[in-house]
Amino acid sequence: MREKMKRIGILTSGGDCAGLNPAIYAVAKAIYRKIDDVEIIGILDGYTGLIDLNTKVLKPKDFEGLLTKGGTFLRSIRQSFKTIDVKDENGISKADKIVKNYNKLDLDALVVLGGNGTHKIANLLSERGLNIVGLPKTIDNDIFGTEETFGYDTAVQVGADYIDRIQTTAASHSRVFVVEIMGNKVGWLALSVGVSAGADAIILPEIPYSAEKLNDALKKTLKEKNYAIVVVSEGAFAKEERKMKNKERLSERKLAGFNSIADKVGDDIAKGLGIEIRTAIPGHVLRGGEPSARDRNYTMQLGAVAAGLIADEVYGVTVAKVNGRISFNQLSEIAGKAKPVPEDDSLLLAARSIGISFAD
């Protein structure tokens, strides 16, 4: 008697980034080689596709050409963890609908590509009995338990290229530029972009800044050259804002006329040094474009391991880079945990040693 065909669902959730399409490509290619009788179901628009049953059967030809493409051809929508298990007027939650539709689709496993929020939902679904394998995606590099996330390397390169171009304008016009880099809770991206672009100061969420210390550092910089670059992480805050909740900080800044942390830092510098400041925010540009060669190679490794886990029926896990090797973690052990930049991080220490200020 012929064994039942395996049906594997795959979705991408949360913010997009370079590397999602290559990761999908890698998982699919490896699954087709490791499992003889298999069908891959593309779930569109992230978890929303499982809630609304918006799916399509994918063929091997659908994955061709994905290796070099940015974004995700399966599309993505953010799904809040806070609302995923809230019951509606009929007593049914989005999580309930996902479980029901997973079974309706007769899936044997679900591959989930996403960041922290995505992994929290994946763990919840795993606890409800779904066979889940996750892959660590985010430009923030903030997923606990893995040394690196895919999409991060490309975003660092895009950010560095962006600031390289800012530098020529800054030098030509003797300007101080404040460049805001994505990173709502952690500063890995701002740190790597800032160091690789030769920033004079880097402001991170992990290190609340002093406007006085920042201006002292910039005074020294401006004595040595005619311009300066300050890189600030999106989630950074001043020492006097340390005890505030994030919503309170944003409210206070808005009342002061600041639309971003870059505006506030720029104002601190302008008032302290009595000079004109320029701010620049690459924003979603950091997520876009073709994935770097490193990210392509990295997703190949992650995808191959993910397919192997599915073939071996190892579920409730997410693929990870641990001690330099591709392995996996239990979702229950990493979901919802933060991965901030530690004060003894080697890149941070190197930055301090060459004179980059963290305004602390």
Query: Catalytic residue numbers?
Result: 140
Quote the tokens at residue 166.
Answer: 């800012």
Q: Which residues pair with 325 in a beta bridge?
A: 322
Alpha-carbon distance of 4 to 6, in angstroms, equals: 6
Which tokens in the block code for residue 139?
């430009």
Task: Assign 55 to helix, strand or coil.
Answer: strand
276 SS3 class: coil
Handedness of CA 195, 199, 203, 207 (dihedral sign): positive
Nearest to 49 by CA among 11, 21, 88, 83: 11
Is residue 249 within 8 A of residue 237, CB to CB? The reply is yes
Write the DSSP string, 3-14: PPPEEEEEEE-S
Q: Which amino acid is at 290?
A: E
